A = this chain, B = another copy of it.
Amino acid sequence: MADHTYSISEIVGTSTEGVDAAVRNGIAAASKTLRNLDWFEVKEVRGHISDGGVADWQVTIKIGFRLER
């Protein structure tokens, strides 16, 4: 059986809803241009504040995808 290789891309997904939605948005956007997405890791959670509340959530994720031969 052949040895696979994976590439890792770093993406910031955003959302006004929360952490989970920001991750989902980032993965959905990445899946438009990358194929064979396999896993993700959350690296950082940040966001903007306005009017005493969270204006947006910015979640940095690393996405691993299998390279085709």
Contacts and interface: CB of A to CB of B under 8 A. Distances in A.
Contact of A40 (B5, B37, B54): B54
* Chain copies in the assembled complex: 12
Contact of A39 (B18, B19, B32, B47): B47
Contact of A52 (B28, B39, B52, B69): B28
Given A12-B64, A64-B12, A42 B40 contact: no
20 contacts: A3-B15, A4-B14, A5-B29, A5-B30, A7-B10, A7-B12, A8-B10, A8-B11, A8-B12, A9-B10, A12-B64, A17-B20, A18-B20, A24-B53, A27-B52, A27-B53, A31-B49, A32-B52, A40-B46, A42-B44
